[in-house]
Amino acid sequence: MSGLIGRKIGMTSIFDENGKNVPCTVIEAGPCVVTQVRTEEVDGYKALQLGFDDKAERHANKAETGHFKKAGTSTKKQVIEFQGFEGEYKLGDTVGVDIFLEGEFVDVVGTSKGKGFQGVVKRHGFGGVGQSTHGQHNRLRAPGSIGAASYPARVFKGMKMAGRMGGDRVTVQNLRVLKVVPEKNILVVKGCVPGHKNSYVTIQRWQ
């Protein structure tokens, strides 16, 4: 699958041809630089390693500096491999948002917003108020029973309980590309994508 690395700018809405208000997300997609070319002869598979967003050289170690210097570009904050690119690319080439077409569908991968420590109602959708069975008694947002005492005398793994929520790698599939603005490296997709504003996302196109 080919794709690009981008940054989530935020959400807005546009009107479609039927006058319907469609919520959408604006993404700064690329431009990405080819920092390594994987070949079947050397690596056993074909892929392109893309870099996005400049990083100060003083924040990069010697291995990173040498790697990007070989590609003839500045050090990058994000580096991801993609397969399925058509055409021939060489080190230092730039891949822009114009690889996407309006109307096609893409997958967007990002890291969801961190919510911190949350209870079972917010984290797992428990009923909360009104539920008074299964050991819940009169504590309105409590989880209730988490296991029997004498047998099995333990709490099973995977039990839905309170804990840290968010900060997970999330993939949203089949988002329609509503608009492509190559001169500003802007991609507008229908619906929402994971992550906060200015967070990094990966836009993937399935071949």
Q: What is the pLDDT of residues 33-89, one digit of tens each?
A: 999 888 888 888 888 899 998 888 888 889 888 988 888 888 888 999 988 887 788
CA distances from 87 to 64, 90, 125 (A): 27, 10, 47
For residue 133, the model assigns a pLDDT of 62
Global pTM reads 0.82
For residue 107, the model assigns a pLDDT of 93
The total of structural domains in the chain comes to 2
SS3 63: helix
Q: Is 186 found in the same domain as 109? A: yes
Q: Is 146 found in the same domain as 64? A: no
80: domain CATH number is 2.40.30.10
Q: Is 156 found in the same domain as 77? A: no
Q: Is 69 found in the same domain as 150? A: no
In the chain, at which residue ranges do the beta strands (DSSP E only) sit? 2-15, 21-29, 32-38, 47-54, 76-82, 94-95, 105-111, 116-118, 163-165, 169-181, 186-190, 200-205
Q: Is 45 found in the same domain as 21? A: yes
For residue 178, the model assigns a pLDDT of 92
Q: Is 69 found in the same domain as 11? A: yes
SS3 201: strand
Report the C-alpha gap between 128 and 122 in whole angstroms: 10
For residue 138, the model assigns a pLDDT of 66
3-state helix, strand, coil in the chain (%, to 5): 10, 40, 50
Q: Is 89 found in the same domain as 50? A: yes
Q: Is 90 found in the same domain as 65? A: yes
Enclosing domain of residue 128: 119-165
Bridge partners (DSSP) listed for residue 22: 14
Q: Is 95 found in the same domain as 47? A: yes
Q: Is 82 found in the same domain as 10? A: yes
Q: Is 194 found in the same domain as 153? A: no
Q: Is 192 found in the same domain as 134? A: no
Residues 1 and 165 sit within 8 Å (Cβ to Cβ): no
Q: What are the pLDDT tens digits along the chain (207 aa)?
A: 688 999 999 999 999 888 899 999 999 997 999 998 888 888 888 888 999 988 888 888 898 889 888 888 888 889 999 888 877 888 888 888 888 898 899 999 999 999 999 999 999 998 877 656 666 666 778 888 888 889 999 999 999 999 999 999 999 999 999 999 989 999 999 999 999 999 999 999 876
Nearest to 144 by CA among 116, 173, 120, 123: 120
Report the C-alpha gap between 185 and 175 in whole angstroms: 18
- CA max distance for the chain: 68
Report the C-alpha gap between 174 and 51 in whole angstroms: 24
Residue 92 Cα to chain centre, angstroms: 25
